[in-house]
């Protein structure tokens, strides 16, 4: 069966520090991968999606970047965190072609102080 792992679960970082969140998927190959952010009391906002290794598309301009160094690994990064980067970050995957549902990781609660 397919599983998705996302870590860390919680993170408190000072303003201006770097960020690296990692997401890995098991039990499938060539998945579509997504990073979402959920601000308090708001819906999920798509940040990045990837349909293959090294292929990253950004949905909104921001202080973050994403990379996909391996087929089932998706990394969310920032060189210098801002207070506004605080939120709940979710990684998700769906089958190639994206015609089935998306499966989500457990999320990372990021607090920038």
**Could you list the residues that contact other proteins (CB under 8 A)?**
6, 32, 34, 36, 41-46, 49, 51, 57, 88, 90, 92, 94, 97-107, 109
Fill in the DSSP letter of residue 28: -
- Distance between CA atoms of residues 104 and 78, nearest Å: 21
Tell me the closest approach of the beta carbon of residue 77 to other proteins, in angstroms: 20
**Does residue 54 come out as left (phi exceeding 0), alpha (psi in the -120 to 50 range) or beta?**
left
Tell me the closest approach of the beta carbon of residue 105 to other proteins, in angstroms: 5
Q: How many helical (H) and strand (E) elements, i.e. helices and strands, does the chain have?
A: 0, 11
Nearer to other proteins, 14 or 41 (CB): 41
Question: What's the residue count for the chain?
Answer: 113
Nearer to other proteins, 65 or 88 (CB): 88
Tell me the closest approach of the beta carbon of residue 88 to other proteins, in angstroms: 8
**Is the distance from CB of 25 to CB of 50 less than 8 angstroms?**
no
Tell me the closest approach of the beta carbon of residue 49 to other proteins, in angstroms: 6
Nearer to other proteins, 59 or 63 (CB): 59
Helix (H, G, I), strand (E, B) or coil at 84: helix
Nearer to other proteins, 61 or 101 (CB): 101
């Amino acid at each position: 069966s397919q599983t998705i792992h996302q870590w860390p679960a919680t993170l408190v970082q000072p303003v201006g520090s770097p960020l690296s969140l990692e997401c890995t998927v098991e039990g499938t190959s060539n998945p579509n991968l997504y990073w979402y952010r959920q601000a308090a009391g708001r819906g999920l906002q798509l940040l990045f999606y990837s349909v293959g290794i090294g292929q990253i598309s950004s949905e909104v301009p921001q202080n973050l970047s994403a990379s996909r160094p391996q087929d089932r690994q998706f990394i969310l990064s920032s060189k210098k965190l801002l207070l506004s980067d605080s939120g709940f970050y979710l990684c998700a995957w769906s089958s190639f072609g994206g015609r089935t549902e998306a499966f989500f990781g457990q999320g990372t609660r990021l607090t920038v102080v």
